[in-house]
Every structure is written in C-alpha cells, then in structure tokens.
C-alpha cells in the first residue's frame, strides 16, 4: 500500500466511519482478521524485509544513531515475532462488552457498567516498524480504528505492514479503513492530527521529549504519552552479588535502545567496595561507557570510569552508556529515583523483604521490580500480546498500553417504566 495521499482530516474521517463498524464487530470476525494478518506476515516476510532494507539504505536513515537503526531494522526473527504477537492477541479474551459492575438500584433499574472501545486511536511513533503491527492488532481486537503516523525514514516498512493488515481486514469482511496510515509528514501535519476533535478520540505519541513537547504545544484531542524511560537498578546492601551482576548487565545491554533499558545504576555504600569492581567490569566488557559520581569512581577499583555530570542523572541514553552512583540507604535510592526518573521502570536487587517493600512502596513508577530486570516492562511479556507503548501517566492508564487500556466504559440501564419523581 502506498502511503495515503488523502489529507489527515480525510484519513481520520475514514477511520471514524470504520470505528463505528468495528465497535460492533463480533469477536470471531476480529480474530479472523488477526489470524489473516499473522498468516500474511509470514507469507510476505521477504517483501517486508525488502521494504525495510530500502528504508535502512535511504539517505533519510543515514544520520540515525546505531540505537535508532536497531529500532528500525527488521529481521526474519522480528517479523516472526510480530506474527506470534498477533496470534497471542487473537487468543486473548475480547475486552469489548466485559461487565465491570452490575447492581439493581432502589428504584428497580438494572444498572450495568460495560467495557466499550474508545473509537479512533491515533499513534505517532519513531523508528520501530513493529509498532505498526502491534498497534493494529491491539486496536482491532479492542474494537477501535487506528490512524498511524510513523517516521518518514520507516515509510516503506510501515506501508508494507499497514497494507498487510488492511488486506486482512478486508478478508474478514471488516472495513480496511480501521487501519489508516498518514505517512511521516512535517510538523504541520502532526499538528493537524493532534487537533482532529470529534474524529480522534485518543492520541498516543511514542518518541522523545521533542515529540512530546511538539504535541503538548498544539494538541486539542486527549493525549496519553508513551513516555521516555530513565530507568534505574538499585543494588541494595543485602543483594546477592551474582544476581546483581546478571540483572544490571541485562537491564542495560540486552537491548539498550529501548525505553525499559536501565540508564542509571545505584549501589548501596555498604556493599559498593565488594560488588562494584566486578559489576562495573562486566558492564565495561559488554561495551558500556560508564560515568559515575566520586564514590562510584573510587569503588570501581582498577577500572577507570568517567565523571558524571548533573545532566547524566536525567539522561535517557538509549545506547551503551550508563551513570553510576553510590547511595547510603534505601531512602536515598528512592529519593534519587523519584528526583531523576521518568516514572517508567525501576528495580531493586535485595534479599531483604523489608527493603523490597520500602522500595516498591516509595518509588513512583509504572513498574517496580524486585530481583528482576527492568526489561520485562512490555505488553508481550505481561501477557497482553503486544503494546502500543508504556504510559508513565496516572490517568487513564499506566504501564504497558494493551487492549483494556484502549477501552472506556458505558453504563447500560434497563428499567420497566421507571420515571424520576
């Protein structure tokens, strides 16, 4: 599918019409569309990879960092993973129509609170073509239409993937405009999308602080930010050193260009001299550039690490760089995380249940881990099949944005002639 040449307003209007039909579609029809999507992804993997290779070779991608190029790059394994994720979404319970609450009022009216789709969800995203499939799968199953605006440098990949989903929708007898791509135009086009009141029910931007600021400046539709991730791993005084090494290295290096990768390592002063040399050496050997405060640099032993600046504590590197600090207590670790973190994912490594409880209660974040890597904050890992992003807001959703986060509710009241006196 070539990127649409219709205007943003026309695309949103088409999605709105499709949303009305999808809202009442049967679970069977939606699952048929998802199964067709997974099948077509597998059948046309070579074409998708060819489109992606074109994006990677394009001059628009030439200036991307290696982390962003990794986000842009598709492989046979990643395409297969997309198909698997779509099938997982298909296998999940349909959230539409779920009864959240029911009661009979004093006047005899039967009152039910039921889950319904939001309507039209618009997603603005950078680099990662798999987002096209993840978003489409989640919105289809939750009865929503979606307007996709990906990066210009992923235009070929996104167009190929959106075309697959549109074909699958048509196969299932559902409106193909339930998935619409508006390309990756300029800021004026972004502003137009963010102001489609009456057509767009929710806008979700996935990207850096620049994108977030651009949308905040103009948006008149509801916005849920899939925000940046300045995530921390705190090695408590009662941590198992080997566990701490595994978790810290995994959280930083397993895929450094994503929002749930750890950017800062906090080490308790009581254990710093014992664990810091080996732990920091592991990170350095994995290619991580380390910067630290004065106490972290002293605890590093023979390993030389750079001096951290104030800016480092607030940085989402999205690459192989990590800031290291030594803290005196759980309270100090919590204070550091809440001052510098973005409310995404935080971890403590400890065998002390009291410390774990204090950390999980005190840290203000969408996801908090005890003895596990921050890399698990992900809709697929959480059993949601996929995610549109991770929200660090508190209204209306927090954490991975899956199907239920793409719904609202309505009250359905049934009476037998009651009137209010």
Q: Same domain, yes or no, for 307 and 408?
A: no
Instruction: Find the CATH number of the domain harbouring 57.
Output: 3.40.605.10
Work out the angle at residue 283's Cα, subtended by the Cα atoms of residues 352 and 255, and round it to the nearest 5 degrees. 90
Is 381 contained in some domain? no
**In this structure, are residues 375 and 254 in contact, taking their beta carbons and an 8 Å threshold?**
yes
Residue 31 has pLDDT above 80, yes or no: yes
- The tally of CA atoms less than 13 A away on the side-chain side of residue 169 is 28
Q: What is the CATH number of the domain that holds 245?
A: 3.40.309.10
- 238 and 305 in a common domain: yes
CA angle 238/239/244 to nearest 5° reads: 165
Query: Are 100 and 135 within one domain?
Result: yes
| Claim to verify: residue 320 and residue 407 sit in the same structural domain | no
Two tokens, residue 157? 């990949």
Judgement on whether residues 123 and 67 belong to the same structural domain of the protein: yes
Residues recorded for the chain: 421
Tell me, yes or no, whether 140 and 17 share the same domain: yes
List CB contacts of 40: < 8 A, sequence separation 6 or more.
Answer: 164, 167, 168
DSSP-derived secondary structure letter, 376: G
What is the number of H-type helices and E-type strands within the chain? 14, 16
pLDDT at 70: 86
Which of 126-130, 140-144, 190-194, 396-400 comes out lowest in average pLDDT? 126-130
Q: Do 220 and 324 reside in the same domain of the chain?
A: no
Are 214 and 255 contained in the same domain? Answer: no
Report, as an integer, the average pLDDT of 226-239: 93
Tell me whether residue 1 is in a domain. Answer: no
Residue 206: name the closest of 146, 138, 123 by CA: 123
Confirm if 52 and 156 have CB atoms less than 8 A apart: yes
Please write down the HEC assignment for all residues of 58-112.
CHHHCCCCHHHHHHHCCCHHHHHHHHHHHHHHHHCCCCCCCEEEEEECCCCCEEE
Task: Answer for the pair 334, 368: CB distance below 8 angstroms, yes or no.
Answer: no
The chain-wide mean pLDDT, for the chain, equals: 94
Its pTM stands at 0.85
Query: Do 17 and 103 fall into the same domain?
Result: yes
Instruction: Find the range with the poorest average confidence among 67-71, 192-196, 280-284.
Output: 67-71
Q: Do residues 200 and 109 lie in contact, with contact meaning Cβ atoms separated by under 8 Å?
A: no
Q: Is residue 86 part of a domain?
A: yes
CA distance 346 to 367: 6
Q: Is residue 27 part of a domain?
A: yes
Does 288 lie in the same domain as 192? no
In a domain, 117, yes or no: yes
Residue 420 within any structural domain of the chain: no
pLDDT in tens, 306-354: 999 999 999 999 899 999 999 999 999 999 999 999 999 999 999 999 9
Q: Is residue 216 located within the same domain as residue 290? A: no
**172 within some domain:** yes
Range of the domain at 119: 8-226+388-414
Q: Is residue 382 included in any domain, yes or no?
A: no
Domain count, the chain: 2
Nearest 5°: the CA angle 258, 260, 264 is 105
Q: Which residues contact 16 (CB under 8 A, 6 or more apart)?
A: 119, 120, 145, 199
204 and 305 in a single domain? The answer is no
């Amino acid at each position: 599918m070539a990127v649409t040449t219709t205007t943003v307003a026309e695309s949103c209007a088409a999605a709105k019409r499709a949303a009305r039909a999808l809202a009442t579609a049967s679970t069977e029809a939606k699952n048929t569309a998802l199964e067709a999507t997974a099948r077509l992804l597998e059948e046309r993997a070579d074409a998708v990879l060819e489109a992606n290779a074109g994006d990677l070779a394009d001059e628009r991608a030439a200036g991307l960092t290696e982390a962003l190029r990794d986000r842009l790059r598709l492989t046979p394994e990643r395409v297969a993973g997309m198909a698997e994720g779509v099938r997982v979404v298909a296998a999940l319970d349909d959230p539409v129509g779920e009864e959240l609450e029911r009661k009979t009022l004093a006047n005899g009216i039967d009152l039910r609170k039921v889950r319904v789709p939001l309507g039209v969800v618009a997603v603005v995203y950078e680099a990662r073509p798999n987002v096209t499939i993840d978003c489409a799968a989640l919105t289809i199953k939750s009865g929503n239409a979606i307007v996709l605006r990906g990066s210009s440098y992923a235009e070929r990949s996104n167009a190929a993937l959106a075309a697959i989903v549109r074909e699958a929708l048509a196969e299932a007898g559902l409106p193909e405009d339930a998935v619409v791509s508006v390309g990756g135009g300029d800021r004026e086009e972004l502003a137009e999308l963010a102001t489609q009141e009456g057509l767009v029910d929710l806008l979700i931007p996935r990207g850096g602080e620049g994108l977030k600021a651009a949308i905040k400046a103009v948006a008149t539709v509801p916005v849920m930010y899939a925000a940046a991730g300045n995530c921390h791993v705190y090695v408590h005084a009662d941590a198992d050193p080997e566990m701490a090494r595994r978790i810290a290295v995994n959280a930083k290096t397993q895929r450094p260009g994503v929002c749930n990768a750890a950017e800062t390592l906090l080490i308790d002063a009581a254990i710093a001299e014992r664990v810091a040399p080996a732990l920091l050496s592991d990170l350095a050997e994995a290619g991580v550039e380390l910067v630290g405060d004065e106490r972290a640099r002293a605890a590093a032993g023979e390993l030389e690490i750079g001096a951290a600046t104030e800016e480092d504590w607030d940085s989402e590197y999205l690459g192989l760089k990590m800031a290291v600090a030594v803290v005196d207590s759980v309270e100090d670790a919590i204070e550091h995380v809440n001052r510098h973190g973005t409310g995404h994912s935080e971890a403590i490594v400890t065998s002390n249940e009291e410390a774990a409880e204090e950390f999980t209660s005190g840290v203000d974040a969408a996801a908090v881990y005890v003895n596990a890597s921050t890399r698990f904050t992900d809709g697929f890992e959480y059993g949601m099949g996929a995610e549109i992003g991770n929200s660090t807001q508190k209204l209306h959703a927090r954490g991975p944005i899956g199907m239920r986060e793409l719904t609202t509710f309505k009250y359905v009241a049934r009476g037998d002639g009651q009137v209010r006196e």
